[in-house]
Amino acid sequence: MRKIIFDTDIGVDDAFALAYAAQTQHILGITTVFGNVPVSQAVKNAKVFSREIALNAPIFRGCSRPLALPALVNSTTVHGRDGLGDALENPYDDKADNAISFIIDTVKAQPGEVTLVAIGPLTNIACAINQAPEIIPLVKDVVIMGGAFGTRGHAGNVSPHSEFNIWKDPHAADQVLSSALPVVMLPLDVTHEVLISGDEIRYLNFPVLTQISSGYLQYSLTHERFEGMALHDSLTISWLTHPEYFTTVKSPIRVVTDGITRGQTLRQLTQLASRFNPFEHCSKQTLCLDVNASKVKAAFFHSLQK
Ligand code: BDR
Ligand code: CA
């Protein structure tokens, strides 16, 4: 069981990941960020979903907009208007203490022990290391759902070249990925390989997951002729519990911050000496490019079979 800070723009698959993390990890706190929903809604969602799963971790409010780009209108088609499938009565307000201070203070108080699980735009993590770069060597690791590297055609979901979390704040992602933080990245290459059907969700005997995902499943049935969803964010927790289910490579990673490929994640594919090397001085990160999907699903079902 790891000590984690769970950084989320809580939508439907984030909620699945939170349920999984609550069963398998020691959650020190939940930090919220804009992404699937505005950050004020993310705070409210974290509160109501924590109640649903009887989780008692403190909840914090993080960034409401990207580092450098204009704030964008949120698109919550698949996650519902409130991000959780419009399925739960939510009596909570959006008040919460500052997420960036919580990340900095917690990492400093427990050097080498805290894993940051980041499943939304990386803005909070970038702000934390910009504000307190001295925490970089104190973080145990950062486990990120994000990016796409083209394995088996998994190259993007918000644009042909970009994955949603990275596209939302490419400058933050580039700072985090090219820093000396030890990063493990779970991109679409692996998360789009792990699909869970409506029947499998209902079989979990975890009614709140069925409730919040019903709109998502209806959308997938209409648009993809498959009633199901990619587990996406839960794969960060799969990595923490079963890293042996993944095939990894080590590479520096950068992000395209503007232009038609905004949000594209790049790894170094050649070692050619060149006069311009954007990967120079970047740490080698751990990149998951393949996954044993059936084993990941079996472990997920096992943990959530209450
Ligand atoms: C990511 O985008 C979000 O909509 C999901 O919650 C996940 O974190 C997948 O690209
Ligand atoms: Ca997410």
**Which domains, ranges and CATH numbers included, belong to the chain?**
3-304 (3.90.245.10)
Q: At what angle do helices 207-224 and 39-52 cross, to 10 degrees?
A: 130
Output the pLDDT for position 70: 85
pLDDT at 42: 97
Residue spans of the chain under pLDDT 70: 73-76, 306
Point out the residues that are catalytic. Answer: 232
* pLDDT value for 224: 79
The count of C-alpha atoms lying within 13 angstroms of the C-alpha of 164, restricted to the half-sphere facing its C-beta, is 19
Amino acid (one-letter) located at 209: L
Task: Report pLDDT for 53.
Answer: 96
Q: What is the C-alpha separation between 254 and 246, in angstroms, rounded?
A: 21
pLDDT of the residue at 128: 98
Q: CB neighbours (10 Å) of residue 180?
A: 13
Query: What is this structure's pTM?
Result: 0.96
- Helix residue ranges per DSSP H, the chain: 12-24, 39-52, 99-109, 123-131, 164-168, 170-177, 188-191, 198-203, 207-224, 234-241, 293-304
Q: In the prediction, which pLDDT does 275 show?
A: 77
Q: Tell me whether residue 140 is exposed, middle or buried, using C-beta atoms within 10 angstroms of its C-beta: 0 to 12, 13 to 18, 19 or more.
A: middle
The whole-number pLDDT of residue 281 equals: 87
**pLDDT tens, 75-134?**
667 888 899 999 999 999 999 999 999 999 999 999 999 999 999 999 999 999 999 999
The closest-lying atom of ligand 1 relative to the alpha carbon of residue 233 is 8
Which of 10, 14, 229, when mutated, tests ligand 1's pocket best, judged by the most ligand atoms within 8 Å of its CB? Answer: 14
Q: How many other CB atoms sit within 10 Å of the CB of residue 18? A: 28
Contact 35, 144 (CB under 8 A): no
